[in-house]
């Protein structure tokens, strides 16, 4: 097969790359499973946005602090300064974020003249390690809301071909440049997709772990290929463990209990129903505290209580979590649920520059596959969707020859 650009993965990084590329480009997108089995669909909490110009310093510091100051400052700056543009792109594509209770549908925003800013219209929540609310959300299925709307837009594009159940097995290399990929379909047939540019948006490494919130087919394929060709990798040991997944003895993917649950006031309790940690500390700190408590008590989980949030907040903000827990036998409006840490996110990956270019010509990487340095050693909650979208757009602009409007600045 022939294409101008081939994209590996149909999560937000891959989909937004396709939407940002010129419509006269022939694009082929592949995914190992069905179109909706990407971790982007699973993101519960939300997506960060620079709330206003006075929020820049605190947002930057929150991201750096969560990442143990091992973040690439230039990338953090690009993400934050691009955030409002990206959120507006999503709104234009039909993404429905939660609006404020005071929002006036007829007059744009209560008390405004009709030219309302995003922060005047939409509701914001706060999650662990954030110094203020700056997270837009859609109930507790923000990832599904964003990814499904982007997928619907891509399906309308006549220049994009989508191939499900198709696995990348290698890349095509000529004169040390990437010229496409080798793939295998579900029948075992192998074929080549030749392309001027290739974008890896193939997700994380959760499929390599016994306990993970990721889909099991996400096994870090791009990492193995990178090792084969000497493509630069970075921080392969930077793996984030999410502190609160629903404890179960059943095999398979662990159900995530969003960071925003604790951001709204849920508390962690030990077997004696005593609180033992500040729930709004960074994820790695909370995870360490949970593991220490489990070891001290000889238990295989701790407890999370959402009761103080109240039934109205739980049903309005966290309906998916409520329903899933109910199916597992727990009514979160009345009782605690057992939670345990599990592998969640990969901050390392294929090294890329500020335009998402890898160390091999004509090969780009975006989303969890890549390492642009935004997250440092530990990702700040709800930065992942934003980071994927910002750097997917930068990759598309670089490929198409368009200028990236937000420039890298020295910090």
Q: What is the pLDDT of residues 62-96, one digit of tens each?
A: 999 999 999 999 999 999 999 999 999 999 999 99
pLDDT at 173: 98
Start-to-end CA distance of the chain, whole Å, equals 44
Please identify every residue annotated as catalytic.
Answer: 283
Pull the structure tokens for residue 68: 């143990």
pLDDT at 210: 78
pLDDT at 111: 46
Task: Supply the DSSP string of 262-323, one letter for each residue.
Answer: HHTT-EEE-TTS-B-S-TTS-HHHHHHHHHHHHHHHT-S-EEEE-GGG-HHHHHHH-HHHHH
pLDDT at 103: 61
Q: Which residues contact 149 (CB under 8 A, 6 or more apart)?
A: 90, 93, 94, 95
pTM, entire model: 0.90
Q: Is 160 exposed, middle or buried (0-12, 13-18, 19+ CB in 10 A)?
A: buried
Q: Would you list the domain boundaries of the chain?
A: 2-161+347-400, 241-344
pLDDT at 112: 46
How distant, in Å, are the alpha carbons of 29, 39, 56, 282, 378 from that of 392? Answer: 14, 16, 22, 26, 21
CA dihedral in degrees (354, 360, 366, 368; nearest 10)? -110
Which of 3.50.50.60, 3.20.20.80, 3.90.1200.10, 3.90.1150.200 is the CATH number of 2-161+347-400? 3.50.50.60
Which of 3.90.700.10, 3.30.410.40, 3.40.50.300, 3.30.310.40 is the CATH number of 241-344? 3.90.700.10
Instruction: Collapse the DSSP code of 405 into the 3-class scheme (helix H, G, I; strand E, B; otherwise coil) and give the result.
Output: coil
pLDDT at 342: 93
pLDDT at 169: 98
How distant, in Å, are the alpha carbons of 51, 92, 212, 218, 292 from that of 57? Answer: 11, 28, 33, 35, 33
pLDDT at 405: 86
Relative to beta strand 267-269, strand 302-305 is antiparallel
Mean pLDDT by 10 residues, the chain (411 residues): 98 98 98 93 92 96 96 98 97 96 59 68 91 94 97 98 98 98 97 98 93 92 98 96 92 88 96 96 92 96 97 95 96 97 95 98 98 96 96 98 86 71
Instruction: Compute the distance between CA of residue 25 and CA of residue 83 in angstroms, rounded to an integer.
Output: 26
């Amino acid at each position: 097969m022939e294409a101008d650009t081939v994209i590996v993965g149909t999560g937000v990084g891959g989909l937004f790359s396709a939407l940002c590329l010129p419509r006269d480009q022939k694009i082929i997108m592949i995914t190992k499973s069905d179109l909706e089995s990407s971790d982007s669909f699973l993101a519960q909490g939300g997506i960060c946005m620079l709330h206003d110009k006075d929020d820049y310093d605190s947002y930057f510091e929150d991201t750096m602090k969560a990442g143990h100051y091992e973040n690439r400052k230039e990338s953090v700056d690009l993400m934050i300064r691009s955030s409002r543009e990206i959120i507006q792109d999503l709104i234009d594509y039909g993404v429905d974020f939660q609006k404020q209770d005071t929002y006036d549908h007829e007059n744009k925003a209560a008390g405004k003249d009709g030219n309302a800013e995003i922060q005047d219209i939409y509701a914001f929540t706060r999650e662990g390690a954030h110094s203020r609310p700056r997270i837009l959300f859609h109930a507790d299925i923000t990832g599904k809301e964003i990814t499904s709307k982007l997928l619907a837009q891509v399906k309308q594009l006549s220049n994009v071909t989508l191939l499900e159940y198709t696995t990348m097995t290698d890349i095509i290399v000529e004169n040390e440049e990437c010229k496409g990929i080798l793939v295998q379909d579900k029948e075992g047939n192998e074929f080549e997709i030749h392309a001027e540019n290739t974008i890896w948006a193939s997700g994380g490494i959760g499929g390599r772990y016994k306990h993970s919130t990721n889909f099991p087919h996400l096994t870090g394929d791009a990492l193995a290929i990178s090792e084969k060709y000497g493509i630069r990798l970075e921080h392969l040991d930077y793996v984030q463990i999410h502190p609160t997944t629903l404890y179960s003895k059943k095999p398979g993917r662990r159900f995530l209990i969003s960071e925003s649950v604790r951001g709204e006031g849920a508390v962690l309790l030990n077997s004696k129903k005593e609180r033992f940690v500040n729930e709004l500390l960074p994820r790695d700190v909370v995870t360490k505290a949970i593991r220490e408590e489990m070891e001290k008590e000889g238990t295989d989980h701790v407890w999370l209580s959402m009761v103080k949030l109240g039934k109205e907040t739980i049903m309005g903000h966290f309906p998916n979590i409520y329903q899933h827990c109910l199916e597992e036998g727990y009514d979160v409006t009345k009782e605690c649920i057992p939670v345990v840490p599990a592998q969640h996110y990969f901050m390392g990956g294929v090294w890329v520059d500020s335009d998402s270019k890898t160390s091999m010509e004509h090969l780009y990487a975006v989303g969890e596959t890549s390492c642009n340095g935004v997250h440092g050693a530990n990702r700040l909650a709800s930065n992942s969707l934003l980071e994927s979208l910002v750097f997917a757009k930068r990759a598309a602009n670089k490929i198409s020859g368009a200028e990236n409007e937000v420039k890298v600045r020295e910090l």
